[in-house]
Amino acid sequence: MRYKLFGHSGLRVSELCLGAMTFGTEWGSGADKIESQRIFEAFVSAGGNFIDTANRYTEGTSERFLGEFIAADRNRYVVASKYSLHDQRDDVNASGNHRKNLMRSVDQSLRRLNTDYLDILWLHMWDFTTPVAEVMRGLDDLVRAGKVHYLGISDTPAWIVAHAITLAQMHGWTTFTGLQVEYSLIQRTPERELLPMAHHFDLCITPWSPLGAGMLTGKHNSVIAPDSRLTAKSPKINEKNRLIAQKVSEIAAQVGATPAQVALSWLRQQHPQIIPIVGARRAEQLIDSMGCLQVSLPAELMQALDQASAIELGFPHDFLRLPGSQDALFGDMKGTILNHRA
């Protein structure tokens, strides 16, 4: 395991992030405490130090288990948790992005994790009810109080993230250093707005569900009936995604890797600031995923995966790439401009 800088900060995090959403069985799946510790130890023994959880995961068990696992050497680990999601269904203020829930939720996470601080706090989902200024000022107060070191934002439109970063910069408040989004070979829509925005602001990108909820592991490669119980279970299980997964499996056989390793390698090779969140229900699954660190896909195989999973970027991106648009913008001079921002 090597280490990367977390966005525009100096924080050093492992090149894979361990997703602790599977720590606990309260949601009907996941790992019990013994298996969760095996998963944690497999990650740490490989050099991993970056671990992602949330106040809501397995009704708080994820944070409690993780708190016990890190207790012997707390400062070694980069612990990230989240706020926004409800943990009391019948309390109107026990969810959302607002200050009251922010302060309450973080205090409870710290108690469950048995720690004085979070290395990274993610805003989990944008609620469309809280003003951006209230969010950014509240987050800055937590950093100044020493309860949080760095900030990230997850599952939020690009224009809101850009607004929040600009507002924080104007006021001298702590700003976001990371962006968490769903991104994989079967979910490439973040390439339209979210990823270019993140690159512009030098944010670390931590994709969740990098294996498409298991679709890219090859376990659903056989033909899928449109009305099958599998398709009812998950909208990701469909014929289009099956063909993408099949291409992943074909390439995995060519390079002597597993499909999961190929899917994660494609993701990692998109940009140096991408750190996939890898989760597992068994330690052996995690060990297999970490094998992606030994896989490097050549350009022609990257291109094959790109083509198999291609999406339309839509307006204005596709329009601006048209030869006529480029001609109208640059005339005969485009080839003379050395554009380092391209």
List active site positions.
57
CA distances 97 to 138, 163, 176, 277, 333, Å, are: 10, 15, 15, 23, 48
What is the distance of C-alpha 65 from the center of its chain?
21
**Burial level of 227, CB count in 10 A (0-12/13-18/19+)?**
exposed
Q: What torsion do the CA atoms of 249, 250, 251, 256 make, to the nearest 10 degrees? A: 80
**Sequence-distant (≥ 6) Cβ neighbours of residue 267 within 8 angstroms:** 183, 184, 185, 207, 210, 274, 276
Exposure of 107 in the CB half-sphere (CA atoms within 13 A): 8
Give the pair of three-digit tokens for residue 254: 């060519």
In terms of phi and psi (left: phi > 0; alpha: psi -120 to 50; beta: otherwise), the region of 105 is alpha
Cβ atoms of 108 and 55 within 8 Å: the answer is yes
Helix (H), strand (E) at residue 153: strand 148-154
How far apart CA 259 and CA 215 sit, in angstroms, is 10
Cβ atoms of 184 and 216 within 8 Å: the answer is yes
